[in-house]
Structure 1
Amino acid sequence: MDQWWDRATAITPAPDQRGTLLLALVAAACILWSPVWRMTRHLVTVVHEGAHGLVALLVGRRLAGIRLHSDSSGLTVSKGRPTGVGMVLTLLAGYVGPAVLGVLLSTGVHSGHAVGTLWLLLVALALLLLQIRNLYGLCVVLVSGVGLFAVTWWLDPTAQTAIAQTIGWFLLLAGPWSLIDLQRSRHAGVAPQSDPDQLARITGVPGLIWWSLMFLSSLGCLAGGARLLLG
């Protein structure tokens, strides 16, 4: 336990600005290169559904389970009032979640606690695992958790910091990119059950307004996270 605590609380400097920009390019490639994005977008789905579940619990709803599917879609089921502020916040959280987590990771890296931030992320995955209700979702979270544990336990602090920074960049960039993908699907009429459309049905506010709010929030997180990482 002493060894674990020393590793988790170690202070590590972030890479210099040139290294930070290089890691940002690596993260961008994981999004813009389609063969890689087909795999890495599953990580975005994990964060998306985890954000739904966390906010559902925070607003007093009862979480009934989370499913992750092979087409990178997901479903979070919570029980409570079908309308109202709690349901609105729960639906809003999904697409904003990756960018918000990206800011949190960026804050950890900026403060020198990148290793501890990775350990907290591992704990979050372990808690999420308790809510998974299908085999594919179980495999995705387990593989993610094993990979993250290997990083936090066997790599040296410098490599851990670089990986934490890359994950932060990836989530910051994936937030708005996922929303662009969503809008394309909505425009093609193949996403009638999307979060913005569900929000439109329960509030009467057009789905495009809700999408715009999510998109601007993600862009704000990208700007704030980038400033922390580049600082």
Structure 2
Amino acid sequence: MTVVALRLAGPMQSWGSGSRFVRRSSEREPTKSGVLGLVAAAKGIRRTDSLEEILDLRFGVRVDQPGRLMRDFQTAQRPKTNRDGSVSWTSMPLSHRYYLSDAVYVAVLEGESALVEGIDAALRRPEFPLYLGRRSCPPAGPVALGVFDGDLGTALASIPWQAGSREQRRHRERSVRVATICDAPVGVAGAEMVRDEPVSFDPNRRQHGWRPITRDVVELPNPHGVVDTVEHDPMSALGG
């Protein structure tokens, strides 16, 4: 199999999987639905088009820089024409929108070589604008990281750490441990279920299904590290 990798970084991101009414939440890492939506935009797939081409891709994400969760209050007014022809304004309910600030992720999609290479090419010359979960969240810099041989786990363990240089310098250790979330292999026991598997992006019948995921940690070199990581042994103080 082959993997295409994406660097998802920007001032703000928002990856909702259960937003309702006036509360628009965000998960702490990119959703499969959101990333496949970004890929669909790059390939010129419209919301009403079939997603069959990309639905069999396996998905994984690595949290290189967690960022901070922030909340935004938004107000709106709706115009109303009165009987005398004048216009008045009616206040809409206050909405709460959540974003991830200053976060960096590596997302990977595993599939057949021709499909994966086509996605990489589309990300470099997208048909529609790309955004990180919401239209108000454009990516900071190129998204495409290239195509790699192997599976999700191999790619997530080998792609260099993508955190900003300031974040890398903040971690003085020569290696860092970062979290990964991947589609679980078929039949794996104890998988966590999340509802962000896209079925249709059509605004009139948007649908999402459940998918099993596994969480893990990988260790990556820190190019700005200066201190070797030493395992702490609290029992050493009791030695003779």
- What is the TM-score when the length of structure 2 is the normalising length? 0.26
Q: Comparing both structures, which one devotes a greater share of its residues to strand?
A: 2
Structure having the higher Rg: 2
Give the helix-richer structure, 1 or 2: 1
> Please, what TM-score do these two structures have when normalized by structure 1?
0.27
